[in-house]
Structure formats: C-alpha cells, structure tokens
Structure 1
C-alpha cells in the first residue's frame, strides 16, 4: 500500500493521527489532526513532533526532552495519559484543549516508526465536571431548605464554595438570611427583657413599649419572610429549568417534587403524581405511569444496566434504562439520598433523569462504521490470502527460497489482519446483540481436545508443552454453544502460547462443581502486572509487559471471551503473578435453566 492509499485510509479515522520516524520527524498526518492543531499537512510534515506544538500534563508544560520521541524511542514505552491526570495540547492558534492520547512505536520490515493517536475530549471533560457539580449541589439544596423551614436560623452549617458558580449566589443568600433571622431572634429576647423591666416602672410605659415592639417585630418578620420566599422561588426556578429531569421522593416512594423536564421525558403531569406513592404494581394498573415506575424502580425496565462509578464519574447509584412512553428513549437515572442535616437520618432520595438517546445513537453509529469498514476489508484480505497461497503452493510457477520466505511473511501478516478484522466484527456483533448463539448439547471434553489439537503446531513452533488433563470420570454432554466456547478457549490458549517463553508449559484441566464445570488454563508465561489485572477484559486493552514482546494484537480477544462466558451464564477470572505465569478459569452451567434467556440483558465489559 503506497503513501497515497495510506493517507486516504487515515482520512476516515475520526481521531487525530500522526506518523513520525525515530528522530521525531513527522512523515504523515491525517486531516483530523491538522484540524485539531490548526496546522496544514505541509506545516506538519518534516517538522519535529516534540517542537511543533506544546504538550501539558495538567497545568505543567512537559519539557521537549521528555515528550513523545524520548518516551517512545529512548525509554521504549508508550506515551499515554498517567492515571488520574489530564494531558493538554496547545494548537497553533493558542487553543489549549484536553486530549485522550496514545503514542507508541510500530515496527515494519523496513524501519521502526512512531504513531500518535489523539482525540479532543473537551466535551467529555465539561460534561463530567458539570454532572459532578450539579449532583453535589442538588443533594445540598433540599437539606438547606429543610433547615430553614424548621425555624433553625443558623448559617454555620452552610458551606459557601470557594469557586463561584450558578449556586453560589443562592447559598450565600440563604446563609445571610439565616444569620439575620438568628440575630433577629436574639434581638427579640433582649427586647422582651427590656419590656419586662419597663413594666415594673409603669403600666403606661409597658403598653407603649409593647406596641412599638410589636410593630418593629412585625415589620422585620415580614421583611425576612419575604426574603425566605424569594430564596425559595430562586431555588424552585433553578430546579424547574434544569436540563435534566428531577424527581424528589420521601422514604416511602411518595413523589414530593418534580420539574418540567421530568414531566416531558416521562409523559406525566406533576399534578397527577405529586403526593402519590409510586409502587411496582402501577406499571400495569396505570399504563400512563409506566416510565415513571421504571425510573422509580429501574429493575422493572426491560433494558437495564448498572453504570460503574468509574464510568459515571459520580459517587452515586447510576443506571441506564430504556423507556417507551411517551417516546422510546434511553435515559440515565442517578439516585442520590436526602439526609437530615441534624441527625443524618434518611429523609428520602432524589432521582436525576438525563436523556442519553442521542449519545447512544452516536455510539451505535460508530460501531456500525467499524462493522462496515471491517466487512469492506475482509473481502480483499481473503483474496490476497488465497492468491499468496496459490503462489506458495507453486500453482502459478515454482518459487525460489527467497521468494517463498517473502511470501510466507506476507501471508502471516495477512492472517493477522484477517484475525483483527474478525475480532472487530465479533465485537460489533456482540454490542449489537447479533452474535448468533446456537445452544445445543455437546461434549465439552471433546471440544477442549479438538482445540488443543488445533494448537499443536503453534505450540511446537514456540517450544511450548501443552497438556490437557482429561478427567477420569466422563462428563455427560450438556447445552452450550460449541462454536463460541471453542472461540473462547482458542483465544485463551493462543495467548498462553504466545506469551510463554520457549521451554514453558500450558496445562488445561476441567472439574465439575455442582451445577457448573470449571475449566482452568495455567501457563508459565510472563504474567500480568497486578495494577492491570482489573482492565484485562476491557476492549482494546493490552498489558504493558506483553506489548514489548508482541507489537501486534488487537486487545479484543479477552473482551470477546468474557462476553461469550457471560452469555452462557458463567463467570471468568484470572490469577496472575508477573514473570511467573497466569491461570485463567471460567465456569459453564451444566443446567440449561441457568443460561440467560435471549431477552435478558447481558452487560458488556
């Protein structure tokens, strides 16, 4: 593939991509990178990637000597964003923006080059900060109002944020108002004391003082009551105009408050639901409340998925569900407790409802694009494969040893590309629910034996001894998808062989545990760093230590494996120690009733 064809292919990539040599000199750049950094392609090519634009880690400018070229080639490590930090680029026009970045060395037959891939995450960072700030402020508004409504006029427990935002004026006003009311209360006590003293002197003076005091108190109370009402109106206005729906419940699921956005999303009128207790049975008895009931009890939704704290960015219960009334929408429901500021006892909870339909459509469109691109790649790759096979087999004429060696390398590279395309297609099918499972009774021992036999040549070439400990007691056939489980086993076994040094071993065993079988694959390979085990089954993830051994690899194999096991109703895990080896194990139910039905939601990892 020539540079023109490569440039055309790179122009379809939605992320910024820059290719550079081992001196840092830029050799190729795609249009998205030029657009983000405000440079033309001619201004990029031939320039040093470390001096062309500034790179920051949080607020600190990274020295040129410690940037991409030094990290990738001198240190031999990928240049990525450190955990818990943010990398920023500064464009030619001076715009400083956060990015997701990955730069590493790529090795071809001719030379070692570098590739930088980055994506502008300004919108994600702003959305993350906005969600966190809004959730925190909302959880604090109701307790403040409750304090004021009880007559406890003290602003000591109200913390004014150091950084001014849309809530600052409201919080400061409430604090000042409560302090003023407290001062008024103390003034009233003082006036009462003076009044009693005056009564002792003369009845007339007592009457006059009482009248004067009453008028003053009435005016002050009226003034402070007006301030309190205005503050309440301010809070109500903020809540009413939130872009997210908001519903407040008491501890018995009685609706206390609902804003207009929640009305629009759920298709209900607040006048019909305020003061009403929402119960699971309402989903059938009151069809017009269907979406409200599903938001109140997310587990009742036909499509529900928990969102981890790492993914949501907030310390709260976040759930994605699908509602169908009045319109079909995908919504994200964040649940926050409301506690008494005095006792800490639960007073109910708040649910923030965000319509994420458009975001999900964009994500699915990206997945569809990958699927289409992969399909378009597979056809020419297959044609190349068979053409090279014909040449290697001598069907088109005898080849000399040098030609056969060159063809062999090309054939191997083409096979890796076909495997990558197949992995991309499998991931796309998994995410779209089109992976096509076929559950039938099959013999798991025979399945494992077949996979071990298929891997014999690869194991022999790597100098690895593979042993399957066939159980003494036969395991009766049970229901599973033999093709998909074979794919999962092949992925795990291929990794074990690939990342085990020559002379090592791989041992496979199977045992029956109640209504499950447990299959274990133990190797004496390089292992996985402890701090990366939790990400091992994530999409596109590869451990740092294996990337130095094998530059090729998609990082999709274990993602596919975990979803296959989850669809069967099993579990998968790994125990590993770096430089000593790993043990991957997974379970499969032998009872067909334990396999999730097609309608059940299976989470993607």
Structure 2
C-alpha cells in the first residue's frame, strides 16, 4: 500500500468520527481535515487544507503561547509513537479567527514507504468543564443548605459508613465530623461513650428507651425509599429526646438500595411542653369532674323523689340542669381521653366479647335522647354474629359517640338507622342519619381534633369536636377502618369495619388497615 492509498484510507476512516481529526505530511502540510475539525475551528475545509499545522493550530497553556521545541510536528514525529500532547496540563488551541478552545489532544505517527504521516485528534473539553463547574457549584450549594439545617443530617452507604454529617447532628450527638466521616458505624460502638448516641441513631433497636412511631413503604410496596420514624432518649452528651427519620436513598436499576439518610430532630422541648399541657389538663379535668359528679348525684336524688315531691315546672328545670351537667361531664371525659391518646396512655383491654351486646346497650342508653329530640332511632342486626376479640368498653364509647352525633345533628322528625352485619371476617356497623350533613369540602377533616363543620357552628349546636377524634383512634387501634359519606342537608352515613380477631395476639400483631 503506497502513501496515497494510506492517505485515502485514513481520510475515509476519520470522516465520520466526532473528534476533530487532522492528517498532515512530514513537512507539516495538512492534507485532510474532517467535518468536526472544520466546525471546531470555525473554518471551511479549503481554508485548512495545504496550510501548515503549526500555523493553523497555535497552542497555549493558560494564556502563555507554547513552543514545544520545534512545535507539534516535532512532538509527533520525534516520538514516533502514539502520545498525548501535554498530558498533565490543560491545552488550548487558538483558531485563525482568534477563538480560544480548551482541548484534549492526542497524536500518533504513521510511517509508509519511509514517509511519515502525522495524525492529530482533539476534542473540546470546555463544555465538560462547564458542566463540572456547575456540578461543583451545585454541590457547594447543597452542602451549605445541609450544613445549615436546623435538624441533624447524616448520610450513610449500605455498610453504615458515614459519608456526610452536618453541624446540627454533631451538636445533638456530641461528635466531631472530622473523627466520624469515612468510619463504618458498628453496633459495638454503643459501648464507646463518645459514639453511644451515634450508634443508637444508626441502629435504633439499640435504644433502651425507644419506639417506632411509623413505618411507610413506597407505592410499590417494597423496601426501596422506605421512611421509618423512631423516637428515643439519649444520655450523651446531655439527656434529650429525639426523633429519627430513616429514609433509604434512590435505588439503581437493579432495585438495590444505595445508602440511606437519617434526619435527627431534637424534640425535648416539645415533649416537656406536651407533658406540661397533659398534666394541666389532667389536673383541671379531675378538679372539674369531682364537683360535676356531685351535682349529678344531687340532681339524680331530687329528680328521683328522694327529697320529696317536686312540681312539673321544677322537674323540667332540674332535668335541663341534669342534661347540661352530663354535657360537661362528657366534655371533661373527652379532654382526658384525648390527652391519654396523645400520651399513649389510652389503654385497651382486649378480650372475647359480643358486639351485638355492646351496640344494643348503647342504643338502649340513647333511646331517651332520641325520643326527647323527636328522632326515630332503629337498630337492625344480624343475630348470629359470634363473639370475637375487642375492647368492649372502648368500642361502646366509639359507637356511643357516633350515635350521639347522629341524633344530635338530626332535626325533629328525622331518622337514625343503625345496622350491624358481617362481611367475610369483618363486622360492619353503619350509622345512617337524615341530619344536616357535612359540607363536601370538610369531610376529610371529620376525624381531626376540635373539628366542627361550618353548618354546625351556624346552628349553635353544642359540642367539643373531640368525640370523632377519639372514635378514629379506637377503631384504628382495633385494626379497623372508618369512613364517612355525607350530603349537606340530606344526611350522613358513617361506616365502621372491624376485623373479627379470634386471639388477643392478633390485636397486636396485625397492622392497622387504612381507608
């Protein structure tokens, strides 16, 4: 193969590559440039052909013109082998029109029939550098944000090696970033005083006074991108209560977790305030309840004729006083129950009981209230429902609150229908009324604390807004679900679905279902 054939072959070979490609002879005269080189140098092919490579490609290092002894030709032909021009420094080309490019260049020498052909390949790295600078700036931005988080932040890889930690985490856990970064945190670190708190945060099961608050899987139902929240008490560097949220990081295409982060929040002040509030409510509620109970006892005696016969007008007034007193007692009880729920002290006694008996007792108790309000109260039940495990008194409280609400918010001449059925392994309680209903845009708030619908407030019907909050907690703790359908001015239907658990263990082991 002669020189012309080689030139033709090389020209065909480099015509389609993206890198700029230049071929020149042993005198440095360019005989081929590809389209990428023309585009890169802002020149037409005929402007570059037959020019000297040394003149066309002026080489700079930073702002200093580079003369490598005899120039590019010497660098290529003298080495007589493949090489990278100035491999340890940033190289710049300046085109004929004065445009400056940062490049990465490589060269090689081919000898044919005793004649040398020079090959120069180059690519623009300015774009890559721009991206790199943007990434550096973005990382610095993210680091600044994370470092100034008011909450602690720790990032781990899959082997519990600490990759990142912010100032708040250092302060909360009593550790120094320089001593922790790059370390694999182990369970044994719980025995090292300075790493005790970090070990507990890394492995929450090590915390003696800790609990899992909630665990949430992603929409795919697998363990990727999970979110788990724990609360625990630390003793080092000072005693404090914290909330730790663990989130697995984005997984790769093969569905593996690429590390995780811990968000650490100091909740000491919140808990102190919460306990103070609970203590105050407890003391106040008990102080109220004592005289209210005494008033109830006295009114019962008088209404029952124990202190002599009373006239009809007197009885009417005393009955009104009695009902008002009952409302006050209910309010106090609700306040106490809400406080217990928030402090996880709202205890449950699960045992085998009859749901038919539980609801029948409540309906009987509230029948007088319905008659007084001229509301028709009916109860339809399936008689062959077998007893199952639930807390009799708590379920009675929930059903009582629901029926009480249905009667209270139903006008004279209206109806309240209660039905009890069984569907597979669930019992279904439905309370349907023809009352004032709930505005459509407020139904989602029904079970929130202190919620009272706008239409209820306008009618000035008394209530605390706590009853349904308590109901929701009771049903949820039984692993059940509760739903509401309502049309304003037409009525409301509340549906409670409870699983018929056959053992006490099931009440604790099964996860609560959601609506």
User: Does the TM-score normalized on the shorter chain lie above 0.5?
Assistant: yes
Query: Which of the numbers 241, 244, 264 marks the counterpart of 1:353?
Result: 264
Distance (Å, rounded) in 2 between the aligned partners of 1:231 and 1:589: 52
Specify the alignment match of 1:440 in structure 2.
351
CA spacing shift, 1:471–1:243, aligned 2, 3 Å: closer
Bigger proportion of residues as strand: 2
Q: Give the SS at the match of 2:451.
A: coil
Distance (Å, rounded) in 1 between the aligned partners of 2:335 and 2:66: 95
CA spacing shift, 1:286–1:510, aligned 2, 3 Å: same
**Which stretch has the larger CA shift, 426-435 or 195-204?**
195-204
Distance (Å, rounded) in 2 between the aligned partners of 1:201 and 1:454: 100
The 5 Å alignment of 1:204-603 reads: 207=69, 239-240=146-147, 242-250=149-157, 254-266=161-173, 274-275=181-182, 288=196, 290-294=199-203, 302-305=211-214, 320-327=229-236, 329-333=241-245, 335=247, 350-393=261-304, 395-396=306-307, 399-472=310-383, 474-593=384-503
Given that 1:295 and 1:333 are in contact with CA atoms closer than 8 Å, whether structure 2 keeps it comes out as: no
Distance (Å, rounded) in 2 between the aligned partners of 1:563 and 1:383: 30
**Which stretch has the larger CA shift, 578-587 or 234-243?**
234-243
The Cα of 1:263 is off from its aligned counterpart by 4.1
Q: Give the SS at the match of 2:386.
A: coil
The Cα of 1:560 is off from its aligned counterpart by 0.9
Distance (Å, rounded) in 1 between the aligned partners of 2:350 and 2:250: 47
Distance (Å, rounded) in 1 between the aligned partners of 2:276 and 2:202: 30
Distance (Å, rounded) in 2 between the aligned partners of 1:444 and 1:401: 39
Distance (Å, rounded) in 1 between the aligned partners of 2:272 and 2:507: 25
CA spacing shift, 1:348–1:555, aligned 2, 3 Å: same
Given that 2:475 and 2:498 are in contact with CA atoms closer than 8 Å, whether structure 1 keeps it comes out as: yes
Given that 1:525 and 1:580 are in contact with CA atoms closer than 8 Å, whether structure 2 keeps it comes out as: yes
Given that 2:382 and 2:422 are in contact with CA atoms closer than 8 Å, whether structure 1 keeps it comes out as: no
The Cα of 1:517 is off from its aligned counterpart by 1.6
Q: Give the SS at the match of 2:385.
A: coil
Q: Give the SS at the match of 1:247.
A: strand
The Cα of 1:455 is off from its aligned counterpart by 1.6
Q: Give the SS at the match of 2:435.
A: coil
Q: What whole-Å deviation, never above 9, does each CA across 1:399-458 have from its counterpart, x for those lacking one?
A: 554444433333322221111111111111222222232222211112222221112211
Distance (Å, rounded) in 2 between the aligned partners of 1:548 and 1:239: 48
CA spacing shift, 1:216–1:590, aligned 2, 3 Å: closer
Q: What whole-Å deviation, never above 9, does each CA across 1:267-299 have from its counterpart, x for those lacking one?
A: 666677644677xxx65897756423347999x
The Cα of 1:557 is off from its aligned counterpart by 0.8
CA spacing shift, 1:468–1:227, aligned 2, 3 Å: closer
Q: Give the SS at the match of 1:305.
A: strand
Q: What whole-Å deviation, never above 9, does each CA across 1:328-385 have from its counterpart, x for those lacking one?
A: 5221537496799xxxx99766443221221222123212211211111111222233
Distance (Å, rounded) in 2 between the aligned partners of 1:562 and 1:388: 33
CA spacing shift, 1:493–1:467, aligned 2, 3 Å: same
The Cα of 1:592 is off from its aligned counterpart by 3.9
Distance (Å, rounded) in 2 between the aligned partners of 1:583 and 1:562: 15
CA spacing shift, 1:497–1:200, aligned 2, 3 Å: closer
Distance (Å, rounded) in 2 between the aligned partners of 1:207 and 1:405: 118
The Cα of 1:512 is off from its aligned counterpart by 2.4
Q: Give the SS at the match of 1:502.
A: coil
CA spacing shift, 1:393–1:323, aligned 2, 3 Å: closer
Q: Give the SS at the match of 1:302.
A: strand
Distance (Å, rounded) in 2 between the aligned partners of 1:227 and 1:454: 72
Q: Which runs of 5+ in 1 are unaligned?
A: 1-188, 308-315
Q: Give the SS at the match of 1:584.
A: strand
The Cα of 1:570 is off from its aligned counterpart by 1.6
Distance (Å, rounded) in 2 between the aligned partners of 1:354 and 1:201: 59
* Greater C-alpha radius of gyration: 2
Distance (Å, rounded) in 2 between the aligned partners of 1:424 and 1:536: 18
Distance (Å, rounded) in 2 between the aligned partners of 1:391 and 1:583: 39
Distance (Å, rounded) in 2 between the aligned partners of 1:204 and 1:562: 79
Residue-pair matches, total: 396
Bigger proportion of residues as helix: 1
Q: TM-score, normalised by structure 2?
A: 0.62
Specify the alignment match of 1:145 in structure 2.
none
Distance (Å, rounded) in 2 between the aligned partners of 1:574 and 1:229: 52
Distance (Å, rounded) in 1 between the aligned partners of 2:425 and 2:54: 87
Distance (Å, rounded) in 1 between the aligned partners of 2:457 and 2:331: 16
The Cα of 1:535 is off from its aligned counterpart by 0.9
Distance (Å, rounded) in 1 between the aligned partners of 2:510 and 2:273: 24
Distance (Å, rounded) in 1 between the aligned partners of 2:390 and 2:138: 63
CA spacing shift, 1:592–1:267, aligned 2, 3 Å: farther
Distance (Å, rounded) in 1 between the aligned partners of 2:66 and 2:325: 108
CA spacing shift, 1:504–1:283, aligned 2, 3 Å: farther
Distance (Å, rounded) in 2 between the aligned partners of 1:260 and 1:252: 22
CA spacing shift, 1:530–1:239, aligned 2, 3 Å: closer
Q: Give the SS at the match of 2:400.
A: helix
Distance (Å, rounded) in 1 between the aligned partners of 2:499 and 2:386: 12
Distance (Å, rounded) in 1 between the aligned partners of 2:409 and 2:134: 70
Distance (Å, rounded) in 1 between the aligned partners of 2:470 and 2:332: 13
The Cα of 1:556 is off from its aligned counterpart by 0.8
